[in-house]
Protein backbone atom coordinates (compact mmCIF):
# COMPACT_ATOMS: atom_id res chain seq x y z
CA UNK A 1 0.00 0.00 0.00
CA UNK A 2 2.84 2.38 0.74
CA UNK A 3 5.90 3.32 -1.16
CA UNK A 4 8.60 1.41 0.64
CA UNK A 5 11.44 2.39 -1.62
CA UNK A 6 12.52 5.88 -0.64
CA UNK A 7 13.68 6.72 2.87
CA UNK A 8 11.13 4.87 4.98
CA UNK A 9 13.03 5.61 8.16
CA UNK A 10 11.12 6.33 11.36
CA UNK A 11 12.38 9.63 12.69
CA UNK A 12 11.55 10.90 16.15
CA UNK A 13 12.66 14.49 16.63
CA UNK A 14 12.61 15.85 20.16
CA UNK A 15 9.49 13.93 21.14
CA UNK A 16 8.53 13.90 24.80
CA UNK A 17 5.48 12.97 26.79
CA UNK A 18 4.25 14.48 30.03
CA UNK A 19 1.34 13.29 32.13
CA UNK A 20 0.64 16.21 34.39
CA UNK A 21 3.87 16.82 36.26
CA UNK A 22 5.23 13.36 35.44
CA UNK A 23 7.56 13.09 32.46
CA UNK A 24 7.25 9.66 30.89
CA UNK A 25 9.61 10.40 28.02
CA UNK A 26 12.24 13.15 27.99
CA UNK A 27 12.88 14.86 24.64
CA UNK A 28 14.16 12.10 22.45
CA UNK A 29 15.78 12.00 19.03
CA UNK A 30 15.85 8.66 17.35
CA UNK A 31 16.17 7.44 13.78
CA UNK A 32 15.13 3.89 13.06
CA UNK A 33 16.50 2.85 9.65
CA UNK A 34 14.09 1.27 7.21
CA UNK A 35 14.08 -2.51 7.26
CA UNK A 36 15.85 -2.82 10.58
CA UNK A 37 14.82 -4.80 13.62
CA UNK A 38 15.00 -2.22 16.37
CA UNK A 39 14.48 -2.94 20.06
CA UNK A 40 13.56 -0.52 22.81
CA UNK A 41 14.82 -2.17 25.95
CA UNK A 42 14.20 -1.11 29.53
CA UNK A 43 12.50 -1.91 32.80
CA UNK A 44 8.82 -1.22 33.29
CA UNK A 45 8.07 2.49 33.51
CA UNK A 46 11.12 3.56 31.53
CA UNK A 47 9.05 5.14 28.76
CA UNK A 48 9.60 2.51 26.07
CA UNK A 49 5.90 1.65 25.63
CA UNK A 50 4.96 5.35 25.61
CA UNK A 51 7.52 5.92 22.86
CA UNK A 52 6.04 3.05 20.87
CA UNK A 53 2.49 4.36 21.35
CA UNK A 54 3.56 7.76 20.08
CA UNK A 55 4.82 6.12 16.87
CA UNK A 56 1.53 4.24 16.60
CA UNK A 57 -0.49 7.39 17.17
CA UNK A 58 -2.15 6.05 20.31
CA UNK A 59 -0.53 8.83 22.34
CA UNK A 60 0.10 12.34 21.16
CA UNK A 61 3.59 13.62 21.99
CA UNK A 62 3.76 16.67 24.28
CA UNK A 63 6.55 18.07 22.12
CA UNK A 64 8.44 17.07 18.99
CA UNK A 65 7.53 15.32 15.79
CA UNK A 66 7.19 11.80 14.43
CA UNK A 67 8.01 11.24 10.78
CA UNK A 68 7.75 8.18 8.59
CA UNK A 69 10.07 8.72 5.65
CA UNK A 70 9.39 12.24 4.39
CA UNK A 71 5.93 12.37 5.86
CA UNK A 72 5.24 13.95 9.22
CA UNK A 73 2.56 11.97 11.04
CA UNK A 74 2.71 13.54 14.53
CA UNK A 75 -0.96 14.51 14.60
CA UNK A 76 -2.42 11.81 12.38
CA UNK A 77 -4.86 9.48 14.15
CA UNK A 78 -3.77 5.81 14.26
CA UNK A 79 -6.20 4.75 11.54
CA UNK A 80 -4.49 7.04 9.06
CA UNK A 81 -0.94 5.86 9.75
CA UNK A 82 0.81 3.17 7.71
CA UNK A 83 1.84 1.56 10.98
CA UNK A 84 0.45 -1.52 12.73
CA UNK A 85 0.87 -2.78 16.25
CA UNK A 86 1.07 -6.17 17.89
CA UNK A 87 -0.33 -5.49 21.34
CA UNK A 88 0.97 -6.92 24.56
CA UNK A 89 -2.36 -8.61 25.32
CA UNK A 90 -2.77 -9.37 21.57
CA UNK A 91 -6.17 -7.56 21.70
CA UNK A 92 -7.72 -10.03 19.25
CA UNK A 93 -11.40 -9.37 18.57
CA UNK A 94 -13.16 -12.04 20.62
CA UNK A 95 -16.35 -11.97 18.53
CA UNK A 96 -14.59 -12.59 15.22
CA UNK A 97 -12.95 -15.80 14.08
CA UNK A 98 -9.27 -15.97 13.20
CA UNK A 99 -9.93 -15.38 9.51
CA UNK A 100 -11.95 -12.23 10.18
CA UNK A 101 -9.44 -11.00 12.73
CA UNK A 102 -6.70 -11.22 10.14
CA UNK A 103 -8.90 -9.72 7.41
CA UNK A 104 -9.97 -6.78 9.62
CA UNK A 105 -7.41 -4.26 8.42
CA UNK A 106 -7.86 -5.15 4.74
CA UNK A 107 -11.64 -4.86 4.97
CA UNK A 108 -11.39 -1.44 6.64
CA UNK A 109 -9.27 -0.23 3.75
CA UNK A 110 -11.90 -1.45 1.33
CA UNK A 111 -9.94 -4.33 -0.17
CA UNK A 112 -12.49 -6.42 -2.05
CA UNK A 113 -11.04 -9.90 -2.33
CA UNK A 114 -9.17 -10.68 0.85
CA UNK A 115 -9.27 -14.47 0.71
CA UNK A 116 -5.96 -15.07 -1.01
CA UNK A 117 -4.05 -12.64 1.19
CA UNK A 118 -5.59 -13.93 4.41
CA UNK A 119 -4.89 -17.55 3.45
CA UNK A 120 -1.29 -16.71 2.57
CA UNK A 121 -0.80 -14.81 5.81
CA UNK A 122 -2.28 -17.63 7.92
CA UNK A 123 0.06 -19.98 6.06
CA UNK A 124 3.03 -17.76 6.90
CA UNK A 125 2.27 -18.01 10.61
CA UNK A 126 1.30 -21.69 10.25
CA UNK A 127 -2.30 -21.33 11.37
CA UNK A 128 -4.08 -22.30 8.14
CA UNK A 129 -6.29 -24.92 9.75
CA UNK A 130 -7.45 -22.58 12.55
CA UNK A 131 -9.17 -19.99 10.33
CA UNK A 132 -12.66 -20.81 11.61
CA UNK A 133 -11.76 -20.84 15.31
CA UNK A 134 -12.46 -18.04 17.76
CA UNK A 135 -9.46 -16.48 19.54
CA UNK A 136 -10.31 -18.01 22.93
CA UNK A 137 -10.03 -21.48 21.38
CA UNK A 138 -6.34 -20.92 20.63
CA UNK A 139 -3.29 -21.23 22.86
CA UNK A 140 -1.24 -18.20 23.86
CA UNK A 141 1.40 -18.84 21.23
CA UNK A 142 -1.19 -19.27 18.50
CA UNK A 143 -2.99 -16.08 19.54
CA UNK A 144 0.33 -14.28 19.40
CA UNK A 145 0.85 -15.47 15.82
CA UNK A 146 -2.65 -14.31 14.89
CA UNK A 147 -1.81 -10.88 16.31
CA UNK A 148 1.33 -10.76 14.16
CA UNK A 149 -0.56 -11.93 11.07
CA UNK A 150 -3.35 -9.41 11.66
CA UNK A 151 -0.82 -6.59 11.69
CA UNK A 152 1.54 -7.84 8.96
CA UNK A 153 -1.17 -8.46 6.37
CA UNK A 154 -1.52 -4.69 5.94
CA UNK A 155 2.13 -4.41 4.81
CA UNK A 156 2.73 -1.54 7.20
CA UNK A 157 5.75 0.66 6.77
CA UNK A 158 6.58 -0.12 10.38
CA UNK A 159 5.43 -2.97 12.61
CA UNK A 160 5.36 -2.11 16.29
CA UNK A 161 5.59 -4.94 18.82
CA UNK A 162 4.67 -4.14 22.41
CA UNK A 163 6.12 -6.90 24.61
CA UNK A 164 4.49 -9.44 22.31
CA UNK A 165 6.11 -12.45 23.96
CA UNK A 166 5.61 -11.44 27.57
CA UNK A 167 2.69 -13.81 28.19
CA UNK A 168 4.42 -16.89 26.80
CA UNK A 169 6.41 -19.47 28.69
CA UNK A 170 10.16 -19.57 28.24
CA UNK A 171 10.37 -22.35 25.66
CA UNK A 172 7.62 -20.91 23.48
CA UNK A 173 9.17 -17.47 23.81
CA UNK A 174 12.50 -18.71 22.41
CA UNK A 175 10.66 -20.36 19.53
CA UNK A 176 8.62 -17.23 18.77
CA UNK A 177 11.76 -15.05 18.89
CA UNK A 178 13.27 -17.06 16.06
CA UNK A 179 9.93 -17.11 14.26
CA UNK A 180 9.56 -13.33 14.42
CA UNK A 181 13.12 -12.86 13.28
CA UNK A 182 12.46 -15.19 10.33
CA UNK A 183 9.30 -13.31 9.39
CA UNK A 184 11.07 -9.98 9.63
CA UNK A 185 13.84 -11.17 7.32
CA UNK A 186 11.24 -12.56 4.94
CA UNK A 187 8.99 -9.47 4.67
CA UNK A 188 11.71 -6.85 5.17
CA UNK A 189 9.47 -4.48 7.12
CA UNK A 190 10.90 -2.25 9.87
CA UNK A 191 10.16 -3.85 13.25
CA UNK A 192 10.20 -1.80 16.44
CA UNK A 193 10.14 -4.13 19.38
CA UNK A 194 9.54 -3.08 22.98
CA UNK A 195 10.77 -5.47 25.63
CA UNK A 196 12.14 -5.65 29.16
CA UNK A 197 13.92 -8.92 28.41
CA UNK A 198 17.54 -8.12 27.54
CA UNK A 199 18.19 -11.55 26.08
CA UNK A 200 15.17 -11.17 23.83
CA UNK A 201 16.35 -7.78 22.64
CA UNK A 202 19.86 -9.04 21.96
CA UNK A 203 18.72 -12.20 20.16
CA UNK A 204 16.31 -10.46 17.82
CA UNK A 205 17.34 -6.89 17.18
CA UNK A 206 19.97 -5.37 14.89
CA UNK A 207 19.98 -2.25 17.01
CA UNK A 208 18.99 -1.89 20.65
CA UNK A 209 18.16 1.33 22.46
CA UNK A 210 18.45 0.90 26.21
CA UNK A 211 16.00 3.23 27.96
CA UNK A 212 16.03 4.31 31.58
CA UNK A 213 13.89 6.91 33.30
CA UNK A 214 12.44 8.28 30.07
CA UNK A 215 15.81 8.66 28.34
CA UNK A 216 17.86 6.56 25.95
CA UNK A 217 20.97 5.52 27.86
CA UNK A 218 22.77 3.96 24.95
CA UNK A 219 22.08 2.89 21.40
CA UNK A 220 23.91 0.30 19.36
CA UNK A 221 24.25 -3.22 18.07
CA UNK A 222 23.73 -5.86 20.79
CA UNK A 223 27.39 -6.95 20.85
CA UNK A 224 28.56 -3.34 20.95
CA UNK A 225 26.26 -2.57 23.90
CA UNK A 226 27.34 -5.68 25.73
CA UNK A 227 31.07 -5.22 25.21
CA UNK A 228 31.23 -1.46 25.53
CA UNK A 229 28.58 -0.20 27.89
CA UNK A 230 28.82 3.54 28.35
CA UNK A 231 26.96 3.74 31.66
CA UNK A 232 26.67 1.56 34.74
CA UNK A 233 22.95 1.12 33.98
CA UNK A 234 23.70 -0.50 30.64
CA UNK A 235 26.58 -2.51 32.12
CA UNK A 236 24.29 -3.96 34.79
CA UNK A 237 21.03 -4.18 32.85
CA UNK A 238 22.51 -6.04 29.87
CA UNK A 239 23.90 -9.19 31.40
CA UNK A 240 26.02 -8.92 34.54
CA UNK A 241 29.10 -6.77 35.07
CA UNK A 242 31.68 -6.74 37.80
CA UNK A 243 32.30 -3.10 38.54
CA UNK A 244 35.36 -2.17 40.56
CA UNK A 245 35.97 1.26 42.04
CA UNK A 246 39.57 2.16 41.27
CA UNK A 247 42.04 5.02 41.33
CA UNK A 248 43.81 6.04 38.14
CA UNK A 249 47.60 5.72 38.37
CA UNK A 250 48.61 6.39 34.79
CA UNK A 251 46.58 7.52 31.83
CA UNK A 252 48.47 6.90 28.60
CA UNK A 253 47.30 7.11 25.03
CA UNK A 254 47.02 3.32 24.72
CA UNK A 255 46.71 1.97 28.22
CA UNK A 256 45.27 3.14 31.48
CA UNK A 257 46.63 1.73 34.73
CA UNK A 258 44.46 1.80 37.81
CA UNK A 259 44.76 0.46 41.29
CA UNK A 260 42.17 -0.90 43.63
CA UNK A 261 42.94 -2.28 47.09
CA UNK A 262 46.54 -2.85 46.06
CA UNK A 263 45.78 -4.67 42.84
CA UNK A 264 47.07 -3.03 39.67
CA UNK A 265 44.78 -3.37 36.68
CA UNK A 266 45.27 -2.30 33.09
CA UNK A 267 42.69 -1.47 30.46
CA UNK A 268 42.76 -0.03 26.92
CA UNK A 269 42.27 3.74 26.86
CA UNK A 270 39.89 3.27 23.93
CA UNK A 271 37.44 1.38 26.11
CA UNK A 272 36.92 4.14 28.63
CA UNK A 273 33.69 6.10 28.31
CA UNK A 274 35.38 9.11 29.93
CA UNK A 275 38.90 10.48 29.74
CA UNK A 276 40.63 9.19 32.89
CA UNK A 277 42.77 11.67 34.80
CA UNK A 278 45.75 10.39 36.78
CA UNK A 279 44.79 10.55 40.42
CA UNK A 280 41.06 10.52 39.61
CA UNK A 281 38.52 7.78 40.05
CA UNK A 282 37.33 5.28 37.49
CA UNK A 283 34.87 2.40 37.53
CA UNK A 284 36.51 -0.61 35.97
CA UNK A 285 34.27 -3.31 34.57
CA UNK A 286 34.72 -6.85 33.39
CA UNK A 287 32.11 -9.43 32.40
CA UNK A 288 31.94 -12.61 34.53
CA UNK A 289 32.55 -14.99 31.62
CA UNK A 290 35.79 -13.23 30.64
CA UNK A 291 37.42 -14.08 33.94
CA UNK A 292 39.42 -17.26 34.53
CA UNK A 293 39.80 -18.78 37.95
CA UNK A 294 42.74 -20.76 39.39
CA UNK A 295 43.49 -22.03 42.86
CA UNK A 296 45.91 -19.81 44.77
CA UNK A 297 48.54 -22.61 44.70
CA UNK A 298 48.78 -22.32 40.93
CA UNK A 299 49.19 -18.58 40.69
CA UNK A 300 52.52 -19.04 38.87
CA UNK A 301 50.81 -20.69 35.89
CA UNK A 302 49.10 -17.40 34.95
CA UNK A 303 50.66 -15.77 31.89
CA UNK A 304 52.32 -12.41 32.38
CA UNK A 305 50.48 -9.24 31.51
CA UNK A 306 47.04 -10.35 32.64
CA UNK A 307 44.93 -8.51 35.19
CA UNK A 308 45.01 -10.40 38.47
CA UNK A 309 42.90 -10.23 41.63
CA UNK A 310 43.05 -12.54 44.64
CA UNK A 311 40.06 -13.53 46.69
CA UNK A 312 38.08 -16.27 48.41
CA UNK A 313 35.20 -18.26 46.99
CA UNK A 314 32.07 -17.18 48.87
CA UNK A 315 29.57 -19.25 46.96
CA UNK A 316 29.35 -21.48 43.93
CA UNK A 317 26.38 -22.77 41.99
CA UNK A 318 26.56 -25.50 39.43
CA UNK A 319 24.22 -24.87 36.50
CA UNK A 320 25.22 -27.52 33.98
CA UNK A 321 27.21 -25.88 31.21
CA UNK A 322 28.97 -23.62 33.65
CA UNK A 323 29.57 -22.97 37.30
CA UNK A 324 28.88 -19.54 38.71
CA UNK A 325 31.21 -18.42 41.48
CA UNK A 326 30.82 -15.47 43.81
CA UNK A 327 34.25 -14.31 44.94
CA UNK A 328 34.89 -12.25 48.02
CA UNK A 329 37.84 -9.99 47.37
CA UNK A 330 39.27 -6.83 48.94
CA UNK A 331 38.83 -5.19 45.53
CA UNK A 332 35.11 -5.83 45.36
CA UNK A 333 32.88 -7.68 47.83
CA UNK A 334 31.00 -9.81 45.34
CA UNK A 335 32.76 -10.58 42.09
CA UNK A 336 30.93 -12.92 39.76
CA UNK A 337 32.82 -15.42 37.66
CA UNK A 338 31.32 -17.91 35.21
CA UNK A 339 33.56 -20.90 34.46
CA UNK A 340 32.75 -23.35 31.68
CA UNK A 341 32.58 -26.89 33.01
CA UNK A 342 35.35 -28.31 30.87
CA UNK A 343 37.73 -29.57 33.51
CA UNK A 344 36.41 -29.06 36.99
CA UNK A 345 38.94 -28.37 39.70
CA UNK A 346 37.68 -30.14 42.84
CA UNK A 347 39.51 -27.65 45.05
CA UNK A 348 37.32 -24.75 43.91
CA UNK A 349 34.77 -24.92 46.72
CA UNK A 350 33.54 -22.14 49.02
CA UNK A 351 36.34 -20.97 51.28
CA UNK A 352 39.16 -21.75 48.82
CA UNK A 353 41.71 -19.04 48.07
CA UNK A 354 41.72 -18.25 44.36
CA UNK A 355 43.27 -15.94 41.81
CA UNK A 356 41.11 -14.32 39.16
CA UNK A 357 42.77 -13.29 35.92
CA UNK A 358 41.69 -11.95 32.56
CA UNK A 359 42.96 -10.33 29.42
CA UNK A 360 43.28 -6.53 30.02
CA UNK A 361 41.63 -5.95 26.60
CA UNK A 362 38.37 -7.27 28.09
CA UNK A 363 38.23 -4.49 30.64
CA UNK A 364 36.14 -1.36 30.19
CA UNK A 365 36.14 1.90 32.09
CA UNK A 366 33.15 3.97 33.18
CA UNK A 367 32.72 7.40 34.71
CA UNK A 368 32.95 6.98 38.50
CA UNK A 369 30.45 9.77 39.10
CA UNK A 370 27.40 7.50 38.72
CA UNK A 371 25.60 4.98 40.88
CA UNK A 372 27.53 1.74 40.71
CA UNK A 373 24.41 -0.39 41.11
CA UNK A 374 22.16 1.36 38.56
CA UNK A 375 20.09 -1.16 36.62
CA UNK A 376 20.65 -4.06 39.03
CA UNK A 377 17.41 -4.03 40.99
CA UNK A 378 15.33 -3.52 37.89
CA UNK A 379 16.71 -6.68 36.35
CA UNK A 380 15.71 -8.77 39.33
CA UNK A 381 12.28 -7.19 39.38
CA UNK A 382 11.52 -8.07 35.80
CA UNK A 383 13.03 -11.54 35.91
Partner 1 sequence: MTAVAAPPEAAAPTEPPVHKPSVRKRLVPYWLLLPGILWLLVFFVLPMVYQASTSVQTGSLEEGFKVTWHFQTYWDALTEYVPQFLRSLLYAGTATVLCLLLGYPLAYLIAFKAGRWRNLLLVLVIAPFFTSFLIRTLAWKTILADGGPVVAVLGKVGFLDVTSWLGVTEGDRVLATPLAVVCGLTYNFLPFMILPLYTSLERIDTRLHEAAGDLYARPATVFRKVTFPLSMPGVVSGTLLTFIPASGDYVNAELLGSADTRMIGNVIQSQYLRILDYPTAAALSFILMAIVLIMVTIYIRRAGTEDLV
Site residues (vs partner 1, CB under 8 A): 56-58, 77-80, 83-85, 87, 89, 91-95, 104-105, 108-109, 150-151, 154
Dist. CA 365–CA 231, nearest whole Å: 9
Q: How many residues does the chain have?
A: 383
CB of 45 to partner 1, least distance (A): 19
Alpha-helical regions (H) of the chain: 48-56, 98-108, 115-124, 140-152, 170-187, 198-204, 222-227, 232-237, 376-382
CB of 143 to partner 1, least distance (A): 13
Dist. CA 257–CA 263, nearest whole Å: 10
End-to-end CA distance of the chain: 40
Closer to partner 1 by Cβ: residue 93 or 318? 93
- Is residue 365 within a helix (H) or strand (E), and if so which, with residue range? strand 364-366
347 CB contacts (<8 Å, ≥6 apart)? 295
Closer to partner 1 by Cβ: residue 95 or 115? 95
Burial of 249 (0-12, 13-18, 19+ CB in 10 A): middle
Burial of 275 (0-12, 13-18, 19+ CB in 10 A): exposed
Closer to partner 1 by Cβ: residue 56 or 235? 56
Closer to partner 1 by Cβ: residue 41 or 52? 52
CA distance to 107, 110, 367, per residue, from 361 (Å): 57, 59, 18
Dist. CA 317–CA 324, nearest whole Å: 5
Closer to partner 1 by Cβ: residue 58 or 314? 58
CB of 151 to partner 1, least distance (A): 8
Dist. CA 159–CA 205, nearest whole Å: 13
CB of 91 to partner 1, least distance (A): 4
CB of 77 to partner 1, least distance (A): 7
Dist. CA 221–CA 202, nearest whole Å: 8
Closer to partner 1 by Cβ: residue 161 or 355? 161
CB of 50 to partner 1, least distance (A): 14
Closer to partner 1 by Cβ: residue 57 or 141? 57
Closer to partner 1 by Cβ: residue 109 or 182? 109
CB of 134 to partner 1, least distance (A): 10
CB of 104 to partner 1, least distance (A): 5
Amino acid sequence: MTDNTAGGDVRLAGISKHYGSFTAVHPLDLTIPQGSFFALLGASGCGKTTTLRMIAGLEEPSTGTVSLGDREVTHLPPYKRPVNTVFQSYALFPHLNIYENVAFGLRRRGVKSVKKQVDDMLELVQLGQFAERKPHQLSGGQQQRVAVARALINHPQVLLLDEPLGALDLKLRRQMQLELKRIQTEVGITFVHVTHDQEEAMTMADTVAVMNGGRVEQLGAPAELYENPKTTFVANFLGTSNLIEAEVLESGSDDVVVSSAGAKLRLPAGRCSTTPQAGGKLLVGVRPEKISLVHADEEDTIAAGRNKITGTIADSSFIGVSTQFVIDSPVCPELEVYVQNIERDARLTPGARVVLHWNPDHTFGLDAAQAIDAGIETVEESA
